[in-house]
Chain A
Amino acid sequence: MPSLESSASPELARRLRRRRRRDAAGALLYVLPALAIVLCFRFVPIIAAFAFSFFEIKMGALIGFVGLGHYARLLQDPTFWQSVGTTIWFSIGTVPIAIFASLFFALLLNRKLKALGLYRTIYFMPVVTGMVAVAVIWKWILEPELGVLNFLLGKLHLGQPGWLGESRGVFQLLVDPEGRWLPRWAGGPSLALVSLALVNTWKGLGYNIVIFLAGLQNIPQQQYEAARIDGAGSWQLFRHVTWPILSPTTFYVFIMSTIVSFQTFSLVYLMTSPPGGPEDSTKVLVYYLFDKGFTPPASLGRASAVALVLFLIILGLTLVQRRLAERRVHY
């Protein structure tokens, strides 16, 4: 309140200023616990990750500046590029299916069903369940000899693939299982990786359904009524009303699922044996980071370089999401 200050006596102004300073100090005291923890356990490690990627590190001490050396070696490492490719395949395997399946079921649910709450409760169950439990349950279901999935497939006289143990690519399995003519690069992601992607999709489906349902319920009913009066059928309603109005939600789900899929680690670690196998076909980016950071001979510098690459990818995705959300994607 500058007017008060200027009109009052200097004595009062000084007292006010002192009081404000004391108030500010008091207010900082309220922020202090959170600030201390955030600085110590987030800010410093994040800055350190950045710094480590430019240094040689031994026993937790920086022993020499190497500039972009870690990045240069990273870019020359074929296993790094393989892990990038594997991660992209994993995202391709989860994100589109996740979006379309969850949108489909959200649309089915969005019609004033009496049992809506029950369905939603059931679909959301895997979201609440921890990844370790999900991994263990699905490992048992996907077990090639004793697992129930191959048993059911056998009953239907379908093939009984090796699921998590299968290193051959899914395209290869479809067109050329013996590997006679299809070049290796065209074989596609291993069935093991696709199995992980499916389990991941299963776990996250209910979450995306809930997000889509919220988006659907925000669409004003008048829009539908107007379109119906114009004689639109249900496909046209979806194509010209629901889909365009829902596009911010769809975009949100798309970006979030992509971000999460780029951070996949626990499923790989828990479900494949040896972890990252078979034949390294499920070594995703964060697995590569974990390997470099914690499996001897560890290279913390290299691991930090990977961490920075991962951060830049995710930051990029987040910024795209922000930008488009501000512009509002609809219509």
Chain B
Amino acid sequence: MRGARGWRRLAVHLLLILAGLSMVMPFLWMVSTSLRSTLEITREPHRFLPEVLIGARDAAAGGAGGLPGVFANYIEAWQRAPFGRYFFNTIVIALACLAGVIVTSALAAYAFARLRFPGREALFLLFLSMMMVPEPVYLVPSFILIARLGWLDTYAALIVPWTVNVFSIFLLRQHFKTIPQDLFDAATIDGASRFAVLWRIMMPLSKAVLVTISLFTIIGTWNSFLWPLVMTHSPEMRPLQIGLAAFSQEEGAEYGLMMAATTLSVLPLLVLYFFAQRQIIASLASSGLKE
């Protein structure tokens, strides 16, 4: 009896490990390729361990040894395309969108949850209905609008339209509604203004929701593709994703370089992911964000 259960458990783990390998191997293969020279890749494309790690490169290829040798592809990729600029753009855009989303969501959610004004429910429904329209549907008119505003190829085009996220408003509103009325009454009697109630009481009580919102906003902005593809054309304004896509069109055949650039592009989010994986999984699962 116990033996049968043990075998079953083993089979389950084997299947799970197999699936896990199929998830991890592409990433490991990416890192491995990124550490190999073009010569090495064409000579032996399927070797897993890079020569530079097992100490065979210096004799064979005469490449530079030491740390610069290991990261040769990274250094070269960084020099061939303005990856520094791409990173800078993405970080600026992500942080600006995050700040915008937090401010607009907090204010709107507060009004929708706690303040009275005519047309409140209708307005909230209008917001929610916007959530159901997928991006490709309004892409063409948005492009014309952004062009008319003279915003093509500027940060404004990549930031301003994304400083509101209806789902964040929805999440915060739901949370604000759960905060007991007594807290407000007490604060109001103490003479706190409405804004002070929001800022001093509601926001500190909503840290978990704010973390959820921040995570899916940052990840969503970091990975967004279609919008910046359409709205930018000069290399200086490209966010990282578009820069990487352009790099792959230009240097696609140099796999070592490509994989080095790709590793760089996924590293920040993966690091963030390993530190906050529980929150990130919960955040993305709740948002339905899934390209």
Whether A and B are associated in the same complex: the answer reads: yes
Q: For A147, what are the chain B residues with a Cβ–Cβ distance below 8 Å?
A: 45
User: What's the nearest-Cβ distance from chain A to residue B145, in Å?
Assistant: 6
Count A-side interface residues using an 8 Å CB cutoff: 91
| A123-B23, A266-B226 known; A140-B255 Cβ under 8 A | yes
A113 to B136, CA, bound (A): 41
Instruction: Tell whether B154 is near chain A: CB-to-CB under 8 Å.
Output: no
Complex Cα distance, B229 from A41, in Å, reads 17
Taking CB atoms and an 8 Å cut-off, the chain B residues in 117-144 that contact chain A are: 117-118, 120, 123, 126-127, 130, 132-144
Interface residue? B164 (CB, 8 A) = yes
Contact flag A293-B104 (CB < 8 Å), given A27-B117, A140-B33, A140-B258: no
Indicate with 1 or 0, residue by residue over B135-178, a CB within 8 angstroms of chain A CB atoms: 11111111111011000000000001101101001000000000
Across the interface, B262 reaches (CB within 8 A) one of A115, A136, A202, A310, namely A136
Chain B interface size band reads 35 or more
Is there contact, CB below 8 Å, between B140 and A304? yes
Q: Determine how close the nearest CB of chain B comes to the CB of A255; give it in whole angstroms.
A: 11
Interface stretch, picked from A7-15, A178-186, A203-211, is A203-211
Min Cβ gap A245→B in Å is: 19
Residues from chain B with Cβ under 8 Å of A68 in the complex = none
Q: Does B16 contact A (CB under 8 A)?
A: yes
Q: Report if A127 contacts B (CB, 8 A).
A: yes
Select one of A120, A132, A310, A314 contacting B245, CB under 8 A.
A132
Q: Is the interface of A mostly helix, strand, loop or mixed?
A: helix
How close is B239's CB to chain A, nearest CB, in angstroms?
10
Q: How many whole Å from A242's CB to the nearest CB in chain B?
A: 16
- Give the residues from 136 to 176 in chain A that come closer than 8 angstroms, CB to CB, to chain B: 136-141, 143, 146-148, 151
Known: A31-B108, A41-B160, A151-B46. A126 touches B23 (CB 8 A): yes
Which residues of A come within 8 Å of B, CB atoms?
Answer: 20, 23-28, 30-31, 33-35, 37-38, 40-46, 48-49, 52, 60, 105, 108-109, 111, 113, 115, 117, 119-133, 135-141, 143, 146-148, 151, 202-207, 210-211, 214, 256, 259-260, 263, 265-266, 269-270, 286, 289-290, 293-294, 300, 303-304, 307-308, 310-311, 314-315, 318
Which residues of B are at the interface with A, using a C-beta cutoff of 8 A? 12-13, 15-16, 19-20, 22-24, 26-27, 29-30, 33, 41-42, 45-46, 103-105, 107-108, 110-112, 115-118, 120, 123, 126-127, 130, 132-145, 147-148, 160-161, 163-164, 166, 169, 194, 219, 222-223, 225-226, 229-230, 241, 244-245, 248, 252, 255, 258-259, 262, 265-266, 269-270, 273-274, 277-278, 280-281, 284-285, 288, 290-291
Top-8 shortest CB links A-B:
A48-B141, A27-B115, A41-B161, A130-B223, A30-B111, A45-B138, A34-B108, A45-B141
